Structure 1
Amino acid sequence: MLARELAEADFHPRLPMHRRLYESLRGAILSRRLGPGERLPSSRDLAAELGLSRNTVLSALNQLLAEGYVEATIGSGTYVSHAIANAPVPIPVAVAREEARRRRNPGPGMLLSARGALLTGRRASEHVEIQPFAGQDDDYDGFPFKVWQRLQARQWRNARAELLDYDHGGGHPALRRAIADYLRVSRSVNVTPDQVLITPGTQQSLDLCARLLADSGDLAWFENPGYWAAERVLRGNGLQLRPVAVDAEGLAPSEDDFATRAKLIYVTPSHQYPTGVVMSLARRRALLEYAARTGAWILEDDYDAEFRYEGRPVASLQGLDDAGRVIYMGTFSKVLYPGLRIGYMVVPPAIAADMQTGLYDLHRPGQLLMQAALAEFIQLGYFASHIRRQRQVYAERRQRLTSVLREVLGEGIELSPVQTGMHLVVYLPAGADDVALAEECADAGLNVRPLSRYYLDAPGGRRGGLVIGYAYVKSPGIEPGARKLGAVLGRLFAPAPKARAKRGGVAARTAPRRVGVAG
């Protein structure tokens, strides 16, 4: 029996022979082909029968003995353990195979909780994560690789034991100080280093806030349209999301919204994601007043404010907060590179110690050597220089993209505000199907996202548009990509007027053609 199983079993080709014998004997015991109390052949007899060395057989039997499958009595022999008699009856082979097949290919959400099935029923990132609209590769050519490598190497050469441990103090002290200094100057944030917590990124910052500042079932206001990953995190923590409309002045709570008591309010006031609008001062003050009156926590996600191309930088919402209700969040993923996975929070002093405790107990943060290198990167001026260079590069790409789109589609095309950020929105005429248009763009080799998918409410309240990421597109790909996009959208917009040949001394011009809107 064992000889046949060893010959026919589907073992990994590199599995040692003693392990194969162990697996075969163990399977025979569990399936009751070798019953409790049954005596096994001696190691010499097994070795002779199977054509194996005695050491191989002894290794397999010793493993079975150590795990309790067999019992050995000196001078008597080796027997299948009587404890197997009390083990559950094995599942029939056919049933076991079907169960294994089902586990390998389960139906959607079959093995998850109800909340897990809700969150994973649609891979949000595949539909709404903004990517470079033209070209296959992200552009990181502007990143100072040599400087970054040198700073990391220096940290490793001088590594201290405490930098190899978990982070117990909310982040590397030098990095917390550098971030506090940077935010005070560049974003008008009221902050001391003790208020700064280093996290793996904005989603982890949001997760910590949702866990420590709200309970499952609590209400959270959420921008509509809004940032898909924030929506995933808040829903994943059991919060009930209330979509709050966004207009030209940013978050626009209605009287009905103000009548509710939100525990959390998620906003992107300096550059709303994805529409690009900036929250007005009046709206900011109204929101802060509501939070102070109701005890709501405002989660300010300042995800790409470093890249402002026109006018003075917009100050943070946190800088206006006198009641200590705003938690400010930022990340280095946009300004350096996504794989860095270092973000930060500025929390009110009243909860700083508790948030630090929660960060350590829930996330066990680390990467202190990387944090130390980043602190030097900021302190030595490389960070500010990198932002200046990339701001110029992105501004040029943004200008080229908008110029070509207006040239191809006409001056009447409506674009989102583009004074800040790394993407823009092309708004479509009423009734246009932005999902279908995004698919057409994909067929043309363009990667754009339908704006309608960023809304939480019913389809009737959604505005159609295409979200276009331009920052990581290599500059030579901007113009051909924009012209491809114009070719797809051309039927929806009147073309720019073009001069005809002069007749009778008067330059005749083509009238804009009338076009239908795709339904």
Structure 2
Amino acid sequence: MSEVSISDYLLTHLERGGTVPMNRQLYGLLRDGILGGAILPGLRVPPSRALAADLGVSRNTVTYAYDQLIAEGYLEARTGDGTYVADTEPDMARLPAALTGDAATADGGAGSLLSGRGERLLSGTGASSAQWGAFMPGIPDITRFPNEVWSKLQARHWRRIAPGLLTYGDGAGYLPLREAIASHLRTARSVNCTAEQVIVTSGTHQSIQLASTLLGEMGDTAWVEDPCYWGTRNVIRSSGLAPLPLPVDEEGMQLPEEALRTPPRFIFVTPSHQYPLGPVMSLARRRLLLEYAARHKVWVVEDDYDSEFRYSGPPLASLQGLDSNERVIYLGTFSKTLFPGLRIGFMVVPSALAPRFARANAELFRDGQSFLHAVLADFMNEGHFSSHVRKMRQLYAERLACLQAAIRHELGDIATISGGDAGLHLALGLPTGTNDVAISQAAKVRGILTRPLSAYYAEPTSARPGLMLGYAAVSTESIPPLFAELAQEIRGQLCHLDTRA
């Protein structure tokens, strides 16, 4: 191709009056021609004045395209000699031959773009694109959040913003927030801690990843409840640990003799309100768990995700509060008490580990939400947090009672209810053989969101069918008619079950 044919090439492809500016079109056509081999290395391109005349555009248009191509290495300007197409052809001879056979697909399987670890992670995902509506579990009523109070607290900080709130944060989090969290935990959850032990994170997932990374090695065993929160299992697995599911009964995670003979590195539990079934770990089992962890140097990770909302009896003390050997890592979050989009959680670690956890948190995640931390600290210190929790506890208790009544009315003794003493959801148990996945999918078509209980089990063979029903974000008056619709789908599925039987 000569200089003249470059002009012809451009004249053929330029779009007059198009939406793309002429200088960008010219740049793109020359670049694509060079990359595609239509314009060869070493070719001298027309002078900017001549090309502008050939194309009927301003010289500035051509100059822009040339300057951009020179800056990116496609063209090179030679003083006194014009502008030439640069030689950017890669030396393919230096590259080893492409892998073939098993070596080419060992990481991700045939045709996969992901690693084997990535494929395993995505095979067990549970996050949904729909996060608001009846009966989505784990979602608080964000319409009742005191927006005006929060807005005023934000405005107060903006009026005299401290520079430190707009840069990267301390690895442990904003100190006044950590002090507020520690004070609250000591009073409300019987957690033994100081502000120095509190590490502020973006939520439970980050907290689990941080603990797994700092305290575990690749391949270490981690006991998890079965069923359990899918996110816990996936973060553990993605961190290189090997989750070992242990069954749950009415006293929480079981500790079978066979498992006790081989101590793990971690034990992940939800002792105050087991997720998703809801039992409370008995005191005897808590003490056994802590004694076992102390003897064998096991780390116990306590996820206290929704214990602010307990509807029968006084609040339960945390597992961490019973620990005298500093083997418990305590996790909490504001997603259930305030709103999930806030993305602020926290962990309480033993004093000796706190500085290293703070340093690792800064190194891995570079926290920068100090402004939100400051607003939340004020929200807690001025009493708004405890006031909001009290109001929502009363409201959620009312909605729970309404949902339980609707279940009894619509299904009678067909279904069982568990986990109704605390939290934002209950587990609806269904007869063996029920296709809870099909019910959940059919309900979604009706605009009703629920999760199949079987999806929370590690193995399909041990899974119990049922539905996870969140009631916190559903108005009391809406619960009966909406559950009536869901009950139609359940009864329809049970009819198919009877037919097959």
TM-score by length of structure 1 reads 0.86
RMSD: 2.8
SS of the aligned residue for 1:189 comes to coil
Of the candidates 62, 69, 80, which is equivalent to residue 85 of structure 2? Answer: 80
Q: What does residue range 54-93 of structure 1 map to in structure 2 within 5 Å?
A: 54-81=59-86, 83-84=87-88
In the alignment, the residues of structure 2 paired with residue 61 and residue 401 of structure 1 have an alpha-carbon distance, to the nearest angstrom, of: 69
User: How many Å apart are 1:124 and its aligned residue?
Assistant: 2.0
CA contact (8 A) 1:431 1:518 kept: no
The 3 A distance-change label for structure 1 pair 6 and 485 is: same
In the alignment, the residues of structure 2 paired with residue 466 and residue 85 of structure 1 have an alpha-carbon distance, to the nearest angstrom, of: 59
Counterpart amino acid of 1:121? S
CA contact (8 A) 2:253 2:269 kept: yes
The 3 A distance-change label for structure 1 pair 180 and 293 is: same
SS of the aligned residue for 1:350 comes to coil
User: How many Å apart are 1:488 and its aligned residue?
Assistant: 3.3
User: How many Å apart are 1:280 and its aligned residue?
Assistant: 0.4
Query: 2:103 maps to which residue?
Result: none
Residues 463-514 of structure 1: CA distance to partner in whole angstroms, max 9, x if unpaired? 11111111111222111122223333347899xxxxxxxxxxxxxxxxxxxx
In the alignment, the residues of structure 2 paired with residue 6 and residue 265 of structure 1 have an alpha-carbon distance, to the nearest angstrom, of: 69
Q: What does residue range 311-330 of structure 1 map to in structure 2 within 5 Å?
A: 311-330=313-332
Query: 1:337 maps to which residue?
Result: 339
Residue 39 (structure 1) aligned with residue 41 (structure 2): no
User: How many Å apart are 1:160 and its aligned residue?
Assistant: 0.8
In the alignment, the residues of structure 1 paired with residue 27 and residue 440 of structure 2 have an alpha-carbon distance, to the nearest angstrom, of: 56
SS of the aligned residue for 2:376 comes to helix
User: How many Å apart are 1:17 and its aligned residue?
Assistant: 1.9
CA contact (8 A) 2:7 2:51 kept: no
In the alignment, the residues of structure 1 paired with residue 200 and residue 27 of structure 2 have an alpha-carbon distance, to the nearest angstrom, of: 49
Residue 30 (structure 1) aligned with residue 35 (structure 2): yes
Residues 79-109 of structure 1: CA distance to partner in whole angstroms, max 9, x if unpaired? 223x4356659xxxxxxxxxxxxxxxx9998
In the alignment, the residues of structure 2 paired with residue 517 and residue 130 of structure 1 have an alpha-carbon distance, to the nearest angstrom, of: 35
User: How many Å apart are 1:3 and its aligned residue?
Assistant: 4.5
SS of the aligned residue for 1:349 comes to coil
Residue 462 (structure 1) aligned with residue 466 (structure 2): no
CA contact (8 A) 2:182 2:194 kept: yes
Counterpart amino acid of 1:466? L
Counterpart amino acid of 2:170? H
CA contact (8 A) 1:224 1:246 kept: yes
User: How many Å apart are 1:407 and its aligned residue?
Assistant: 2.2
Counterpart amino acid of 2:192? N
In the alignment, the residues of structure 1 paired with residue 43 and residue 207 of structure 2 have an alpha-carbon distance, to the nearest angstrom, of: 59
Query: 1:101 maps to which residue?
Result: none
The 3 A distance-change label for structure 1 pair 36 and 405 is: closer
SS of the aligned residue for 2:182 comes to helix
In the alignment, the residues of structure 2 paired with residue 12 and residue 308 of structure 1 have an alpha-carbon distance, to the nearest angstrom, of: 67
Residues 409-439 of structure 1: CA distance to partner in whole angstroms, max 9, x if unpaired? 2257421031101111111122322223323
Q: What does residue range 328-367 of structure 1 map to in structure 2 within 5 Å?
A: 328-367=330-369
CA contact (8 A) 1:132 1:138 kept: no
User: How many Å apart are 1:285 and its aligned residue?
Assistant: 0.9
User: How many Å apart are 1:359 and its aligned residue?
Assistant: 0.5
In the alignment, the residues of structure 1 paired with residue 430 and residue 52 of structure 2 have an alpha-carbon distance, to the nearest angstrom, of: 78
SS of the aligned residue for 1:124 comes to coil
In the alignment, the residues of structure 1 paired with residue 111 and residue 228 of structure 2 have an alpha-carbon distance, to the nearest angstrom, of: 25
In the alignment, the residues of structure 1 paired with residue 413 and residue 164 of structure 2 have an alpha-carbon distance, to the nearest angstrom, of: 59
User: How many Å apart are 1:7 and its aligned residue?
Assistant: 4.9
The 3 A distance-change label for structure 1 pair 9 and 317 is: farther
CA contact (8 A) 1:109 1:117 kept: no
In the alignment, the residues of structure 1 paired with residue 415 and residue 271 of structure 2 have an alpha-carbon distance, to the nearest angstrom, of: 25
Counterpart amino acid of 1:470? Y
CA contact (8 A) 2:265 2:298 kept: yes
Query: 1:297 maps to which residue?
Result: 299
CA contact (8 A) 2:7 2:54 kept: no
**Identity across matched positions, percent:** 46
Q: What does residue range 470-481 of structure 1 map to in structure 2 within 5 Å?
A: 470-481=471-482
The 3 A distance-change label for structure 1 pair 3 and 300 is: farther
Counterpart amino acid of 2:218? S
Deviates more, 1:441-450 or 1:358-367: 441-450
In the alignment, the residues of structure 1 paired with residue 31 and residue 153 of structure 2 have an alpha-carbon distance, to the nearest angstrom, of: 54
In the alignment, the residues of structure 1 paired with residue 129 and residue 258 of structure 2 have an alpha-carbon distance, to the nearest angstrom, of: 31
TM-score by length of structure 2 reads 0.89
User: How many Å apart are 1:128 and its aligned residue?
Assistant: 11
> Matched residue pairs, number?
480
The 3 A distance-change label for structure 1 pair 364 and 295 is: same
CA contact (8 A) 2:133 2:448 kept: no
